[in-house]
Amino acid sequence: MPRINNRIRRLRFDNNEMTQEALAERAGCTRQTIIALEQGKYVPSIELAFKIAKALGAKVEEVFQYE
Amino acid sequence: MSYNQNRLIRLLLLIVMSILGGWAIVSDNWIFLIPIAVVLGVVPFLLRKRIKEIIVDERVNTIARRASRLTFVVFVILAVVTGSVLIYLGKEDHDLTFNIGLTLNFAACALMLFYWAAYFYYNRKLGGKE
C-alpha cells in the first residue's frame, strides 16, 4: 500500500534542533500532531504539509515523499 | 492563559455552579438556575477565547469526525436492535416496553434523516453538485 513518508525529525534537527513545540507553533498545529506525523501515524492535509515545509525552510517535496 | 490553567478554571467554575445549582433546586429557588445557566453557557466560551496556544487543529478535527461517525453508527444499530426487541416483547399489551421500543426506533430514524440532510448540505457546500 502506498504511503507518505516524511523527514520532519531530520529537518528539525537540521534547523538548529528545533523543538516539536516550536515547529507546531510555526506551522499552526498542536505538538501532538507533530509527534503523530513523525511517528507516521498521521498524514497531513496539503495545507498543513505546506505550512510545515515553510516552517522548516524546505520545499514540500523535501519534507514529504509519496512511495 | 495556558490550556491547563483554562481547564482548571473551567473545572472550578463547574464545581461552584453545580453546588449553587444543587442548592437552588433543594431550596426551591428555581429562579437562580437562570443566571447559573447563563454563567455556565457564557463564561467557558469567553475563557476559551483567551487561550493563546493552539488546542484544536486538523488532526483533532479528524479524530472528532471519526469518533462522531462511529458513535452515530453504534447508536443507530443498538437503538434499532434494542428498539425492535422491545417492540416485539411489548406487542401484545402495547405497554411501556412497546413505547420505549418505538421511541428508540424513531430516534434512530430521525438521526439518520438528519444525517442525510447534513450530508446533502455539505455535499452541495463543498462542491459536490455538478
pLDDT band at B4 (very low <50, low <70, confident <90, very high): confident
Q: Scanning every residue of chain B, which has its alpha carbon at the shortest distance from the alpha carbon of A28?
A: B54
pLDDT band at B1 (very low <50, low <70, confident <90, very high): confident
Nearest chain A CA: its distance from B61 CA (Å): 11
For the CA atoms of A6, A9, A15, A17, the dihedral, rounded to the nearest 10 degrees, stands at 170
Query: From the CA atom positions of chain B, what is the Rg in Å?
Result: 22
> Which residues fall within 8 angstroms of residue A36, CB to CB, at 6 or more apart?
A42, B59
ipTM of model: 0.84
The predicted structure's pLDDT at residue A2: 57
Query: From the CA atom positions of chain A, what is the Rg in Å?
Result: 11
Are B24 and B32 in contact by the 8 Å Cβ rule? The answer is yes
CB interface of A with B, residues 14-53, below 8 Å: 24-25, 28-30, 32-33, 36, 42, 44-45, 47-48
Whole-prediction pTM: 0.73
User: Are A33 and B57 within 8 A, CB to CB?
Assistant: yes
Q: How far apart are CA B53 and CA B61, in angstroms?
A: 16
Which of A17 and B130 is assigned the larger pLDDT? A17
Q: pLDDT tens for residues B7-48? A: 889 899 999 999 999 999 999 888 888 999 999 889 888 888
The predicted structure's pLDDT at residue B115: 94
The predicted structure's pLDDT at residue B17: 92
User: Are B58 and A30 within 8 A, CB to CB?
Assistant: no
Q: Scanning every residue of chain B, which has its alpha carbon at the shortest distance from the alpha carbon of A43?
A: B59
Nearest chain B CA: its distance from A32 CA (Å): 9
Mean pLDDT of the residues in chain B = 90
Nearest chain B CA: its distance from A8 CA (Å): 17
Q: pLDDT tens for residues B82-118? A: 999 999 999 888 889 999 999 999 999 999 999 999 9
Q: What is the mean pLDDT of residues B45-61?
A: 85
CB interface of B with A, residues 22-41, below 8 Å: none
CB interface of B with A, residues 53-72, below 8 Å: 53-60, 62
Mean pLDDT of the residues in chain A = 93
Q: At residue A12, does pLDDT exceed 60? A: yes
Q: At residue A1, does pLDDT exceed 70? A: no
The predicted structure's pLDDT at residue B128: 67
> Which residues fall within 8 angstroms of residue A29, CB to CB, at 6 or more apart?
A48, A51, A52, B54, B57, B58, B59
Tell me which of B55, B59, B126 to substitute to probe the interface with A (most A C-beta atoms closer than 10 Å).
Answer: B59
The predicted structure's pLDDT at residue B130: 61
Q: What is the mean pLDDT of residues B71-85?
A: 96
